[in-house]
Amino acid sequence: MPETTELTELKELQQGLDEIDQALLQTLEKRFELCRKIAAAKLANNIGVTQPPELDEAVDRCASVAKELKLDAGFVKRFCRLIVDKSCKIERELMSPEEPTIASSELAKRGVRIDHAAIAVRDLDAAIETFTKQYGFRVMDRRPVVGSKSGMEVAAIEAGDLTLVLVMGTDPQSNVTRYIENYGPGIQHLALLVDGLSEVHADLKERHSNLLTDIVKGPGLRQTFTRRDSNTGMQFEFLERSNINEFEEDNIRKLYDAMDNEDVY
């Protein structure tokens, strides 16, 4: 069957997006190459690395241009901050090279940002009311999760680019209930977004990072979890995602099943 006019137009529009994406990436590489040259010139002239006030000025300039172009200034500032931060990292690495005897961790190479914090709460309805009314979050998703030994209820909330996951045990033997009994309500684990989970996971194994799970795989989401550290009280999740701030119920269940099986919380 011949293509409709609408389908042909859609393909042309999608091709236009691809061309713009390629141009953005080429421009980005030109910027980073210029940063490398600036770093070399600074090093040759004994000039220090870029300082925070200069970085703030650069981001503010971008925000000013965004307003003129009627773009979302907040988004542009976050976008520009990522570019400026990467540029500074390039500059620091070139001007203060790491000692060759010190091996950089995969997390240092591939860590992106804090993806979310999972917070154990006593009363999920009350917690949602607090976070929505007092702080301005909104509920993205709310669902029950039934594990092999116990259950819980989960609510993902967001504000801008910030995401929290509230978890409440639904029976006395729930992992979350036992966590609160022993530690009180609060951050149950912290999730760190990485670019290349397989490499990070292999490096964590070599560093004897006390991993609780292997890589847990779900549609658009891959995760691995550590056990809770007795000294700091921290449990970490390392994840890589292709979906946007979505949570896979099966992945959540596998984490808490692993904790139940080892009788840890």
Confidence of residue 190 (pLDDT cuts 50, 70, 90): very high
pLDDT score, position 101:
45
Q: By C-alpha distance, which of 226, 225, 249, 250 is closest to 156?
A: 249
Instruction: For residue range 215-263, list pLDDT tens digits in order.
Output: 988 778 889 999 999 999 999 999 998 766 566 666 676 767 777 776 7
pLDDT score, position 65:
85
pLDDT score, position 54:
78
pLDDT score, position 129:
97
> CA-CA distance, 223 to 77, in Å (whole number)?
29
**DSSP string covering 39-55:** HHHHHHTT-PPPPHHHH
Find out whether 238 and 224 touch, Cβ atoms under 8 Å.
yes
pLDDT score, position 115:
92
What's the rounded mean pLDDT across residues 32-41?
Answer: 90
What's the rounded mean pLDDT across residues 128-153?
Answer: 89
215 Cβ partners below 8 Å, 6+ apart? 197, 198, 201, 222, 223, 224
Query: Measuring CA to CA, how many Å separate 156 from each of 15, 71, 159, 235, 258?
Result: 35, 28, 11, 19, 21
Burial class (CB within 10 angstroms; exposed 0-12, middle 13-18, buried 19+) of 174: buried
Has residue 64 got a pLDDT over 70?
yes
pLDDT score, position 14:
92
> CA-CA distance, 11 to 73, in Å (whole number)?
30
pLDDT score, position 171:
86
Q: H-helix or E-strand containing 239?
A: strand 236-241
101 Cβ partners below 8 Å, 6+ apart? none
What's the rounded mean pLDDT across residues 147-158?
Answer: 84
Confidence of residue 134 (pLDDT cuts 50, 70, 90): very high
3 state SS of 36: helix
> CA-CA distance, 136 to 117, in Å (whole number)?
17
HSE of 152, CA atoms in CB hemisphere, 13 A: 33
pLDDT score, position 207:
94
> CA-CA distance, 167 to 179, in Å (whole number)?
11
> CA-CA distance, 173 to 59, in Å (whole number)?
50
Query: Which of 154-158, 190-194, 258-262 shows the lowest mean pLDDT across its residues?
Result: 258-262
Find out whether 224 and 214 touch, Cβ atoms under 8 Å.
yes
Q: Pick from 29-33, 131-135, 148-152 the range whose average pLDDT is largest.
A: 131-135
Confidence of residue 80 (pLDDT cuts 50, 70, 90): confident
Confidence of residue 3 (pLDDT cuts 50, 70, 90): low
Can you list the alpha helix ranges (DSSP code H) found in the chain?
5-44, 52-68, 73-95, 106-110, 124-129, 175-183, 197-206, 249-261
Give the pairing type, strands 151-159 and 216-218: unpaired
Instruction: For residue range 19-30, list pLDDT tens digits in order.
Output: 999 999 999 999
* DSSP letter assigned to residue 139: E
Please give the mean pLDDT across all residues of the chain: 86
